[in-house]
Amino acid sequence: MSDVDRQLAKLLSLNEIRDLPYKYAAAVESRDVDAMAELFSPSARFGSYGDGPDGLRRLMVDSMTGSLFAVILVANHLVEFDDDVHARGQVWAHCYAQERTDGFLEQLIKYEDTYEQVAGRWLFAKRRHRLWYGVAHPRSPLEQEAADWPRNQIGVGDIPLADHEFTAWWQKRSKTVP
């Protein structure tokens, strides 16, 4: 393999690794546990939940039960290669979430990741979730009336209102909020 071919392979690997946190965030937003599980190596461990994608499925089904809505903004992703099939990195994430019982939450998270290439695909081998802070807001911004953009840009937008679970919660909550 020529030096140019090695550099190209490294750039393609870097691009694929950098997509992993974005795909993870999209899976959290859509509550798609299967899409999330596809991002993890069979060797990934999830404690008492088990290993690999099935372990992650069990963990996320359990941890996302109370989640009504979550958006994760991904930033500052650094990646270092250990060899051609192993890498490690860190990525920062700012999460906004509406929980069914805990209200509206905001978190700043640092993920410490390890990656491995399995059958030609880069996957998470491990994600360490390190919380910088988490705060519960006294009032959820999602308890407002509908924004009806572009006429009015203040209020709940069309994205959450297109989700049937959110809409059911929102309609029920709007009846109890002064």
pTM across the whole model: 0.90
Q: Tell whether 173 and 97 lie within a shared domain.
A: no
Q: Tell whether 89 and 173 lie within a shared domain.
A: no
Distance CA 106, CA 176 (A): 23
How many domains in the chain?
Answer: 2
pLDDT per position as a tens digit, 74-122: 999 999 999 999 999 999 999 999 998 889 999 999 999 999 999 999 9
Q: Is the pLDDT at 5 greater than 90, yes or no?
A: no
Distance CA 100, CA 58 (A): 20
Do residues 162 and 152 make contact, with C-beta atoms less than 8 angstroms apart? no
59 sits in which H/E element: helix 52-63
Residue among 72, 145, 83, 68 at smallest CA distance from 114: 83
Q: Tell whether 130 and 48 lie within a shared domain.
A: yes
Q: How many CB atoms within 10 Å of residue 52?
A: 15
Residue 42: which CATH number?
A: 3.10.450.50
Q: Tell whether 10 and 75 lie within a shared domain.
A: yes
Q: Tell whether 12 and 93 lie within a shared domain.
A: yes
Q: Tell whether 110 and 58 lie within a shared domain.
A: yes
Identify the domain containing residue 157 by its residue range: 141-178
pLDDT per position as a tens digit, 20-61: 999 999 999 999 999 999 999 999 999 999 999 899 999 998
Eight-class DSSP state of 77: E
Q: Tell whether 127 and 157 lie within a shared domain.
A: no
pLDDT per position as a tens digit, 118-163: 999 999 999 999 999 999 999 999 988 999 888 889 999 988 889 8
Q: Is the pLDDT at 174 greater than 80, yes or no?
A: no
Token digits of residue 158: 């069309």
Q: Which pLDDT does position 175 carry in this prediction?
A: 62
What is the band of 176 on the pLDDT scale with cuts at 50, 70, 90? low
Q: Tell whether 18 and 99 lie within a shared domain.
A: yes
Residues 6+ apart with CB under 8 A from 176: none
Q: Tell whether 119 and 131 lie within a shared domain.
A: yes
